[in-house]
Amino acid sequence: MYKIFLHHQLLEFWRGRNKASGIITKVLMIFIILYFLLVAIGLGFFMKSFLTKLFPGKDPVLVFNGFILYYFLADFLMRVQLQELPTLSVKPYLTVNLSKKTIIKFLNLRSFFTFFNLLPIFIFLPFVFISIAPISGSLSAMAYTLIVLSLAIFNNFLILYIKRKAGSNGFIILFGVAAMLILAALDYFNIISISHISGLLFSYISHHPLWSLIFILLPVSIVGINSKYLRNNLYLEEISKKEVAKVSTDYPFLNRFGHTGRLVALELKLILRHKRSKSALTMSFLFVLYGLLFYKKQLIDKNSFGSLLFAAIFMTGIFQIVYGQFMYAWQSSHFDGLLTSPVTAKDFLRAKFLMFTLAATLVTMVTFFYGFISWKLILLHLCVYLYNIGFGTVIVLYFACYNRKRLDLTKAASFNWQGVGASQWLLGIPLLLMPFLIYLPFGIYDLPFWGIISIGLFGLITLAMREIWLNLLTRLFIKQRYKIAEGFREH
Amino acid sequence: MLIEIKNLKKIYNQKTVVDIPSLSINEGELIGLVGNNGAGKTTLFRLFLNLIRADDGVVLSKGNDVSKDDNWKSYTGSYLDEGFLIDYLTPEEYFQFIAEINNISQSTLVERIKPFKEIFNDEVLNKGKYIRDLSKGNKNKVGIAAAMLIQPELLILDEPFANLDPTTQIRLKKLISEIKARDVTIIISSHDLNHVTEVCDRIILLEKGIVIKDSEKTEGTLKELENYFTV
């Protein structure tokens, strides 16, 4: 029976809607996952040298012990964000001759196959066997393994349980996250120390490995609770989320832009009412912190804007990159409706320009806090901002005219590659390369300020030419619209 | 003449799915388009609405080629499938949007929604749901209402009776007759021969993209069609 289920799952993966987005994307996805796993394995094998380097003079085993519970706390928060409920669409199986027990067992089994369950194995076990086994003996190594696996499985099913429960009560998930955050905060302010507890626990276990057997209770009980919940709630209406009453909203601010503004309001609702687009928005704001990684003091002091450029473009233009790359596919489900409505192609495109401009302006204003680091960064962001709204928008909308992949908005946000095609990858090249090309000659002759000002000027000129771009894009859009619409109609 | 088709052809993978040398539709006609699955009804509708590119020939609406000139949009109301609905809006927001882009004022909108109250049967408006959460039948109602709200001169509906309960079907037929009385040109398709022969006054029968029968409705039309479809 499980074989049939697994077979169906495989078929679903390979035959999934949108066949075209197919193999290349899937292979790429597999590569990315492999990459992360490789990093994890590397981390695992070189853990000892990492730990001795990071915490010189401390016993790496003790540091490691202190770190384990921490990891699972972070793991929990990461899973809340990213792990999805196993998507065996239960519906067709409920009415055929299969016991609920079988379906539930399969659902449980299926949920093991997630990237998040592999990570801890690769991160922790190499160190356990390389460094701990020789010191404390193989029995304690086994004990470590047992606990790591137990905790991983516990987290796995706890998340699923919370997410299933939260299907009927949105507060539970908030509550769970809040509890974890409070724990993290308590640790941060040294009120209770998780690393201390973790250290104590694992030192004890390494001496009394048999006690680790207690940890088996964790996964066993959570799997039990989960299965019981599923057994009682395996009904269609209860698996799917309970509805909250939806309200109509209006954005009076946008009405002053006429039809264009109305289209922006429409798209704003689209963004706010779908998980996938909403995550593009949250990402835009999270990426504002990107500069903290990139902006090194010596780079700023030396005015090496070339090295800062990438982060700056990315931060100020993030929305048009992450949201714009799927343009106009966000509207693929009602594209026919738009084409038959009296909205003109020009208004349609003008609305996109307006939306990108508003978004970039907002994000750029947020990034001005980098001014506390250096005033130069504000100048840099302003210039790059002009580039983004002047030229970046044109590039994004140009590529959008060649994107014919339907986007299924009802699907989840993370690790979702549905609707990804070649145009998404190509888009980044001119968008990110252009400012470097402009900057390059100035960089070579050591005129960094002239370099970024040229980028800004370039942006300003292209911005002034917007009406021309608009006409060109309108013509292209009208030419392409049949193909776009045809692609969007294909499920 | 409101719509004129000249030499219209649409080919998919070397298979001709629509092939109509000439067809005209006059103002105020109520036309029923019938034919089995794959006869080309929806394709023909999409050609009317410039949603697909014709491989040959033109569709003229009021004398203008629909693929060259967007003027038809201002007087054409249409609902083919759920792809016309912006499903993440509430029905109220959707009607509001349609009204705004057609320059219909708020008060006129309220006025024009009224006749649909009966059809909506309290299941569409103010239910706190997005369109995507409505049942198929109710989505259908939203789409049809939106197409009619703009008081079009030409109304195109694909399978308007599908997924509707019997009461609503009867109400919709009544509504269509009322609209027709205002001299609106209406083209509908349906698999239900009874509905089509009841409301429409001209029947066009398609088979594999070709018009094989085009005639005014008479007493014997229903019988004739039934004979055609009985294999």
* Cβ–Cβ contact A121 with B under 8 A: no
Q: List the single residue in A274, A335, A341 with the smallest CB-CB distance to B73.
A: A341
Which residue in chain A has the smallest CA separation from B85?
Answer: A334
Q: Do A342 and B98 touch (CB under 8 A)?
A: no
| Alpha-carbon span A234 to A315, nearest angstrom | 44
- Chain A interface, mutation test: which of B82, B101, B127, B135, most A Cβ atoms within 10 Å? B101
Closest to B131 measured CA to CA, from B181, B79, B92: B92
Which residue in chain B has the smallest CA separation from A347?
Answer: B101
Q: Do A249 and B89 touch (CB under 8 A)?
A: no
* Cβ–Cβ contact A271 with B under 8 A: no
- Chain B interface, mutation test: which of A241, A260, A336, A406, most B Cβ atoms within 10 Å? A336
Q: Between A and B, how many residue pairs show a Cβ–Cβ distance under 8 A?
A: 84
Q: Do B87 and A259 touch (CB under 8 A)?
A: no
pLDDT at site A204: 87
pLDDT at site A372: 85
As a whole number, mean pLDDT of residues B173-194 equals 91
pLDDT at site B202: 94
Q: Do B83 and A243 touch (CB under 8 A)?
A: no
Q: Do B51 and A340 touch (CB under 8 A)?
A: yes
Beta strands B15-25 and B3-12: pairing type? antiparallel
Beta strands B64-65 and B56-61: pairing type? antiparallel
Q: Do B97 and A266 touch (CB under 8 A)?
A: yes
* Cβ–Cβ contact A486 with B under 8 A: yes
| Alpha-carbon span A295 to A480, nearest angstrom | 41
As a whole number, mean pLDDT of residues B179-194 equals 91
Tell me if A330 sits within 8 A of A437, measured CB to CB.
Answer: no
Boundaries of every domain in chain B: 1-70+187-231
Using DSSP, state whether A233 is helix, strand or coil.
helix
Which residue in chain A has the smallest CA separation from B54?
Answer: A482
Closest to B30 measured CA to CA, from B161, B178, B150: B178
As a whole number, mean pLDDT of residues B56-70 equals 90
Alpha carbon of B122: minimum distance to chain A alpha carbons (Å): 16
As a whole number, mean pLDDT of residues B146-151 equals 92
Tell me which chain B residues have a C-beta less than 8 angstroms from the C-beta of A474. none
Q: Taking CA A90 as the corner, what is the angle to CA A88 and CA A95, rounded to the nearest 5 degrees?
A: 145
- Output phi, psi for A165, to 5 deg: -60, -45
As a whole number, mean pLDDT of residues B95-110 equals 89
Q: How far is CA A415 from the centre of its chain?
A: 7
Q: How many CB atoms lie within 10 A of CB A154?
A: 20
| Alpha-carbon span A100 to A108, nearest angstrom | 12
Q: Which two tokens stand for residue A371?
A: 């001014």
- Chain B interface, mutation test: which of A251, A331, A340, most B Cβ atoms within 10 Å? A340
pLDDT at site A90: 66
Alpha carbon of B119: minimum distance to chain A alpha carbons (Å): 21
pLDDT at site A130: 83
Tens of pLDDT along chain A (491 residues)? 677 777 777 776 666 554 445 566 667 777 877 887 888 888 888 888 888 887 787 788 888 888 888 888 888 877 876 777 765 566 667 666 677 777 788 888 878 877 788 888 888 888 888 888 888 888 888 898 999 999 999 999 988 888 777 655 556 666 767 777 787 777 777 777 777 888 888 888 888 888 888 889 999 999 999 888 888 777 654 555 445 677 777 787 887 788 888 899 999 999 888 878 887 887 787 788 888 778 888 888 888 888 888 889 988 888 888 888 888 889 998 999 999 888 899 999 999 999 999 999 999 998 888 888 888 899 999 999 999 999 999 999 998 898 888 888 776 555 555 666 666 667 778 888 889 999 999 988 888 899 999 999 999 999 999 999 999 999 999 999 999 999 888 76
* Residue where the block lists tokens 């973790």: A198
Q: List the single residue in B50, B74, B100 with the smallest CB-CB distance to A262.
A: B100
Instruction: Please state the pTM of the whole predicted model.
Output: 0.69
Tell me which chain A residues have a C-beta less than 8 angstroms from the C-beta of B92. 248
- What is the CATH architecture assignment of B1-70+187-231? 3-Layer(aba) Sandwich (3.40)
**Which residues are bridge partners to B207 per DSSP?**
B210
Query: At a CB cut-off of 8 Å and minimum separation 6, what does A296 contact?
Result: none
